[in-house]
Amino acid sequence: MKKLLVTGSSGLIGSEVVAGFSADGWEVHGVDNNMRADFFGPQGDTRSVGAIR
């Protein structure tokens, strides 16, 4: 099985990359430090989409 590491995996682009490659059968690992919450406040918090901190 092909493996993929996605940095920023909870962000706009990263989450779509995770979903797309997962659907194609890749083993996908994501890393995201939720920096979005620092930049944009509570509305930018992506913990609900499974960020790994």
Residue 19 within binding range of ligand NAD, rule CB under 6 A? no
Q: Name, in order, each residue with C-beta under 8 angstroms of 32's C-beta and a sequence gap of 6 or more.
A: 7, 8, 9, 10, 11, 14, 46, 51, 52, 53
Candidates 8, 24, 27, 29: give the one binding ligand NAD (CB under 6 A): 8
Kindly tell me which residue out of 12, 20, 27, 29 binds ligand NAD, with binding defined by CB under 6 A.
12
Q: Report the distance separating Cα 4 and Cα 8, nearest Å.
A: 13
Cβ distance to ligand NAD smaller for residue 13 or 24:
13
Query: Is residue 46 part of the contact set for ligand NAD (CB under 6 A)?
Result: yes
